[in-house]
Copies of this chain bind each other. A is one copy, B any other.
């Protein structure tokens, strides 16, 4: 039995005591109504855990972050859109240092960090950014504005907050803003997520739970197979509430990250369907993961989803091509609860096809492939490919 309750709150990061966030348009983005430079400020130095892209060419802000000693504390995160500050060499680090020293002079911050998203290969417009500090209110908190400022091809802002009440009467808050767009945004696949909390969480738990949360959320959605130079997930904890319970925090963090990941998928341009690809009965978790990710990344499968084509052939073919141990006589495939392929019957009869079609009409459904060889399972999440161009292929069979 759970000894805590989790309640959703409005207004994202604004809920977490001791943190401030805001944004301004520094002229990086043509639309002056929307910010392009945002910050998250903490009243005190706070613990920070981060997960970064595995791309070898990590962007300058990530390399800058890693120059701080292990376990350092931060009191300021600066985020900009429209310029990734990636592949900018030593100059990219120098530019961050320049911006940071301006910030230190102006605000008395100690260990500022930075995060960027946008085009690769251009120097940051340092003057524009530092000039904008003059008009930026660092004592306000406007999560909405910050969440909008970090958007690139996103079509809606992504922010969430939860209040966690423990059964001893204590409570803490956890909140996040996030940007990233689904598979269908190869132009800018960078994913950024900033989470703040006033929970009294030990640094060790932060590291452990952030990794675990990432593995169960952002690492399970099919973006476009490319890993950006800038992908970043950060968790900042100022411990202000004095309240903590590991199980409760883990649950709230997992929930917030999973929901943000689903928001990213839903923001795939033109994507209409959100599909869970569960692979079970595999010999190992690695094999289940390999097959599950193959399904959520497959153009073959994505176009079939869009075409609402109940033919299971592309699902099976993708499993077969994934390189995992499998056998067509042991495999079964379900769409939600409907068995759609097994060795016992192969061709779809009209009734089953009609039922499958009704399931595929839904905005969300589940594809379950039971490999029938072992006990391991893995679920990843994908969306359909719903562009006009795909129509040609999706309608191929009809």
Contact = CB atoms under 8 A, between A and B. Distances in A.
Contacts of A88: 346
A317 interface: yes
A140 interface: no
A236 interface: no
A56 B319 CA distance: 8
B56 A326 contact: yes
Contact of A186 (B91, B188, B319, B393): B393
Nearest to A313: B120
Interface centre among A58, A187, A324, A397 (most CB of B within 10 A): A187
Interface string A90-121: 01000000000000000000000000000111
Contacts of A312: 121
Interface residues of A, number: 67
Contacts of A341: 87, 121
A86 interface: yes
A290 to B, nearest CB: 12
A227 B346 contact: no
Contact of A329 (B54, B89, B389): B89
A257 interface: no
A317 B269 contact: no
Interface stretch (A33-41, A275-283, A296-304): A296-304
A320 B119 contact: no
B313 A87 contact: yes
Interface SS of A by simple majority: loop
A187 B317 contact: no
A318 B226 contact: yes
B346 A87 contact: yes
A87 to B, nearest CB: 5
Interface in A164-190: 184-189
A347 B84 CA distance: 13
Given A119-B313, A313-B119, A393 B187 contact: yes
A270 interface: yes
A68 interface: no
Contacts of A224: 299-300
A351 interface: no
A285 interface: no
Contacts of A396: 152-153, 187-188
